[in-house]
Amino acid sequence: MIEEGHEAQQWVQELAEALECRSQDELPSVVRENPYYFVFFPSSAEFAQHVVESGVIKMGAPPGRQFDELGGVARRWLFERSLYKTTPASVPIARQ
């Protein structure tokens, strides 16, 4: 449960630190635009880094295509780490 948003801000700071950023402002743009999306995934920082490195979000690409590709990456991440547990994962930042 989020009380007054304090936890949410802490989650973003933890994500930034895990990605070796001193603040939210230093997060990669893909993550900085919606950091809350990433904190609910297992191994949150690793997932954010994976999205950045995979280039799934491309400037100038149609938004619908980007969302489809991001959805595919997210599904595979969740299947491997939460459903089938074929890849070890830490708990999401939002659950710590």
Segment 63-90, tens digit of pLDDT: 889 999 999 999 999 999 999 999 999 9
Hey, what are 7's tokens? 């936890």
pLDDT of residue 3 exceeding 90? no
Segment 28-61, tens digit of pLDDT: 999 999 999 999 999 999 999 999 999 998 878 8
What is the pTM assigned to this prediction? Answer: 0.91
Contact 90, 41 (CB under 8 A): no
Question: Mind giving me the DSSP string for 24-83?
Answer: GGGS-HHHHT-HHHHTTSTTHHHHHHHHHHHT-S-TTS-HHHHHHHHHHHHHHHHIIIII
* Domains of the chain, residue spans: 6-95
Q: Say what percent of the chain tops pLDDT 70.
A: 96
